[in-house]
Structure formats: C-alpha cells, structure tokens
Amino acid sequence: MLNIYDVERARRTILRREPPERQNLPPALLEGVERIFGQGVVPSEAVARILASVREEGDQAVRRWSQLLEEVQVEELRIPNSDLVEASQDLPTALSEAQRTAADRIRGFHERQPLQSWTTDALGGKLGQRLTPIRRVGIYVPGGSAPLPSSLLMSVIPAQVAGVEEIVVCTPPRPHATILAAAHLCGLETVYQIGGAQAIAAMSYGTESLAPVDKIVGAGNLFVALAKQQVYGLVGLDGVAGPTETVIIADTTADPAWVAADLLAQAEHEPMASAILLTPDRSFAEAVQAEVARQIEPLSRSGIIAQSLSARGGIVLTEDLNAAAALVDEYAPEHLCLSVSDPAALADRIHNAGGIFLGERSFEVLGDYIAGPSHVMPTGGTARFASPLSALDFVKITSWIELDPETSAELSPLAAELAKAESLTAHASAAELRTEGENV
C-alpha cells in the first residue's frame, strides 16, 4: 500500500508534477462527468458549461446544478442569520472552546503581520505605497464528505484583520452546523449554501441573490479549482489549489508511529491527496511502512486513505538528509514536516515550501487547526513562487507619486530622452512641454 521508491523512480511517479487537467483522475469521477454532461466531456469542459449557465441564468442555474450535481433542492440560497446563531448555541462546549481558541490564535498571528502604507521624501516630493483593503471578498468553504469549518476561520479572519468591508461565504448546500457556528463566531451574517463550480460562478458574475465579489479565496475540489482558473481576470484569486500534499523528512531519531500517523492524517483528505516520506534509512522506512499498515485499520476513512497512499503516496530513500532537502526544493510541497534531530539547520537549506513544521511536536495537524498561520497554502508546486494565505492577500497596493516642482523639472528632460529612445513621441512631448513651461 505504501511503496518504497528510489529517487529516480519517485521523480517519474509520485514526485512528478502535472497540471490539474492532466492528472490521472479517478475513473469514478470521469464516469460521473460523462454521465451528467455527455460522452467525451472532460471536467474543464463541464466547468465551462456551469460557468456559462450561471452567468446567463443566475439563481435558476445555481439551483439546477445543486439539484443535478449534489442532489439537493435549494430554495433560499442565503442562509438565515438565525441558523448561524442556533448552530453556535447548539455546539458542544468543548468544540466551541476549541473553535474560539483557534480563532484567537489565527487572529493573533495575522494581527502581527505588517500592513502599513509608507511614503518617503528622499527622492524629491513624496513617493510611496498606499495599502487599501479589498472591498468585497468571496470565500469558498468546502463541505462534502469532510466539512471544514477550520477553512472558514483560516480564510475569514485574515480578511477581517486586513479590513475587508464585505465578506461573502459560499459552502455546499445543507452545510454542517460546525461551519455555521464558525461563521457566527467570526461575526458573519452572509453565508450562501452554494457549492462547487456554481459557487465560483455566482461569486464572480453575481446573481439575483448575491452581488459579484472582487476576489475569491479558499480551496475546494477539482471543479472549484478549474472554475477559479476560468474566471481569473474577472476576479482576483488567492491561487488555484490542487489536491493537498505533505512531505515529511525523517531520520532515525523520529518516531515511526508518529510519522505514520502524520502520513495517514494527510491521506484521509481525499484519494488525490499526497503523503510522502523522504528518509535515508531503509530500516526506518520499513518501520513506518509497518506502522501505516497497523494504524489504518480502525480509521473511519481507511478506504480513502488506502486509495491516496497507493496512488499518490510513498516513501523515497535518499542518499542523506541534504539530498532529501534538495528533492523537496524540486517538488515545492504545500506542507513540509521536518522530523529530524536538527530541524532548524535542515530548514535553512530549503527555499520552496508553503509551510515548514519544525520537529515532531510541531506536527501538521496543529497547523491545520489551531497553530495560527492560515492552513490555506500553495499546492501543485506553486510554493516555488506563491505564499500561504495571509492578511496581505486582502489588500491592494497603490503607488503614490507626488513630486515637487524642482524634481519634476529635473526629471522631465530625462523622461523625454527615454521616450524618444522608445519612439513614443507623444510621451516625449508631454515631458518637453513641462520643460518649456519652466523656461518661460
């Protein structure tokens, strides 16, 4: 179930990066798409049809897709605020306290992130950058077989810290009470029971029930990711999230049972999740292998875990820890866990990872729920250039240019020369007119 690979074989298989549309998708998913949309229709084409219909028909199309794809008949798309209050009141005390602690830590972390406008007069006049909160943001919260109220907290709170005026949450129909309770905890009043690609369409184009947003954030399934790809430019995005992924680097000081538990936790998200261990020690690899086989049996989502580990998981034997670090930089994982004797030294060698978890006590599950940083992180190798969701995702930067007359006069002839070199004579003329005015 959890195979052991050499590095080259791993590069050709479990460490090979493919865009979402070229990944080996589960046959059941492809069969479902063809059953609903027609023979030969692939997921990206199905998503395009959903987007087009919601753009043209609004709420009517949203309801139709909810009925067809999720087998739920939805009359009111907006969930009454009273439902959020009731869900919060009915939440078990222990869970309510856990959600509140998580929310406090998430807010405390993001409030420490610098969000400052600035100016300088060192270059003549006033130059700088102004940070302005995005006015209206849409947040997608997965529902499905594993409702994720944690994703609501991890996305909404950074937006609130940034000062976003309007936050709209969409989550699949008949959302779990824990999601509604999390929304109430954040002080939200606007939650819509719309899932999948139709939710992305509704937030992008607007419908009779909700106005369009300026930016959409939040992870979802393949159809959500493809929909976000197709609406980019009309709205801003935090990124196009693919299946979740974890890489663990471990040496013989690590506990095989703990490492196995962390791999299993990652794999239970979905069949396309990736849980990969890199280690230079075969005996340790085999001990983890045995622990995975032992621990998986009583788990409630053991079937999903088995699919994930056999298709996209594995153990890779590396020459040493430095070779493992180099392999991580190639792969650029969403989560990187360092279960080694000196995690800080190894972390210094790694440039590409969404989040780095140093030591076995800083395990990924804590990051998923309660440590503080948002668990919405770059997937699919995008950690080479992208960052985890933060308050900075909810502000935009405007350049501030206010030159004094002396600096303007000094720079104008130089700008004219640069414009002439580019054959842009109107640009040159605009600069020269200022110069002539100074000579009158």
- Report the catalytic residues: 334-335
Which own/partner pairs from 284-290 qualify as long-range (CB within 8 Å, at least 24 positions apart)?
Answer: 284/250, 284/251, 284/252, 284/254, 284/256, 285/4, 285/315, 285/317, 286/4, 287/256, 288/2, 288/250, 288/256, 288/259, 288/260, 288/263, 288/315, 289/2, 289/4, 289/315, 290/256
CA distance from start to end of the chain: 84
CA distance 339 to 265: 16
CA distance 251 to 285: 9
Q: Which residues pair with 129 in a beta bridge?
A: 118, 399
CA distance 327 to 320: 11
Query: Helix/strand/coil (H, E, C) string of 280-342?
Result: CCHHHHHHHHHHHHHHHCCCCCHHHHHHHHHHHCEEEECCCHHHHHHHHHHHCCCEEEEECCC
Give the other-Cβ count within 10 Å of 342's Cβ.
Answer: 14
Residue type at position 188? L
Give the other-Cβ count within 10 Å of 118's Cβ.
Answer: 10
CA distance 194 to 175: 9
CA distance 197 to 187: 26
Q: Which residues pair with 62 in a beta bridge?
A: none
CA distance 139 to 121: 39
Q: Which residues pair with 216 in a beta bridge?
A: 138, 237
CA distance 143 to 155: 15
57 Cβ contact partners less than 8 Å away, ≥ 6 residues apart: 64
Query: Helix/strand/coil (H, E, C) string of 111-126?
Result: CCCCCCCEEECCCCCE
